[in-house]
Amino acid sequence: MDLPNSMETKMKYTARYIIWASLALLFSLGSLVQAQSQSLASAMGVSVFPADGQDSTQQSKDEAECYSWAENNSGVDPFELQKQQDARDQQTDEQLAAAEQAQGGGGLVKGAAAGAVVGELAGNDVGHSAAVGAAIGGVANRRRNKKAQQQAAQVEQQAASGQQATAAQIDQFMNGFTACLEAKDYVAKY
């Protein structure tokens, strides 16, 4: 080609870009197709083997039936339960952040400043008033910190209790789901 060097370089880079973009698109589509072909059981972390030679269509149908049966039998929808647990976890994180923020320092400094102002206004010794204010501010700060720590501990305990309850409910569902699949001649483990 008799193109100037810079034009030839631009065409090479453009061609490379088109090739890479095409490959990226193909890879993305392949991942999408693979994600859509994932079975219900594998989405829940359950390994299922068709012991009686069932095909994938039959397995999908059986998984859907067992999911419905386990949901009705246990009263638990694990996907909805996970959404609720995620919302509770976010709320817990926000409460812990608020409790941590409540543990502010500066009680000594604020108390000393307030004591100095009161001492000055009352005509008392400013140094002594500042020292008294600092002591009071320190005590108040320790009380606030202790209360915030207690609140944080309570929030963490409630979160742990909620996670245990969620895990127990999911176990109840999974036991029913796998039992149903096993009754339909599958080997199922979670």
Q: Indicate whether 46 pLDDT > 80.
A: yes
Q: Indicate whether 188 pLDDT > 90.
A: yes
Q: Which of 70, 93, 79 is nearest to 158 (CA)?
A: 93
Q: Indicate whether 7 pLDDT > 60.
A: no
Over residues 9-37, mean pLDDT? 51
Q: Indicate whether 86 pLDDT > 80.
A: yes
pLDDT the model gives residue 10: 58
Q: Indicate whether 29 pLDDT > 50.
A: no
pLDDT band (50, 70, 90) for residue 91: confident
In whole numbers, what is the pLDDT of the chain averaged over residues? 75
What is the rounded distance in angstroms from the CA atom of residue 182 to the CA atom of residue 171? Answer: 16
Q: Indicate whether 124 pLDDT > 50.
A: yes
Identify the top-confidence range among 17-31, 34-48, 108-122, 138-152. Answer: 34-48
Contact predicate 144/102, CB 8 Å: yes
Tell me the whole-structure pTM to 2 decimals. Answer: 0.56
